[in-house]
Copies of this chain bind each other. A is one copy, B any other.
Amino acid sequence: MTSQESPDDPQHPPTLRVLQTAVDDWITQWDEGYWPPLANLARLTEEVGELARLLNRAYGPKVAKDAPEPDTREAIRDEIGDILFVVITLANDLDIDLGATLIETLEKYEVRDADRWTPRND
């Protein structure tokens, strides 16, 4: 890995491939290694549930204020990091290149949703 590919150099934001490698390095340092798919899925469900709690508190019917508190914002960001970690873990375990996949997702939406939304008319 060249210094340019280091995941934490602010001048060079990380590629998804480098982040997938960083997650793999982290997981494979342990004897336990990757979990089975249904256990990773349960963890994804858990993390999405924690995000749901925070979003409901910040934007749901419980509150009247417009913008969430800084603490809540930070907790939401933290939770989205946990979700991304599990998504990368699942992708690694199933040999999926997330960057290439996301580009195909955008191409799929381009075709599928062409007539679904209203083009902006500036």
Q: Number of A residues contacting the other chain (C-beta, 8 Å)?
A: 77
Q: Is the CB of B45 within 8 A of A47?
A: no
Q: Is the CB of B84 within 8 A of A55?
A: no
Q: Is the CB of A36 within 8 A of B59?
A: yes
Q: Is A106 an interface residue (CB 8 A)?
A: yes
Q: Is the CB of B50 within 8 A of A32?
A: no
In addition to A8-B103, A44-B48, A77-B94, 16 A-B residue pairs with Cβ atoms within 8 Å of each other are: A13-B100, A19-B103, A22-B102, A26-B106, A31-B120, A32-B118, A36-B59, A39-B60, A41-B55, A45-B45, A46-B49, A46-B56, A47-B49, A80-B94, A81-B108, A83-B87
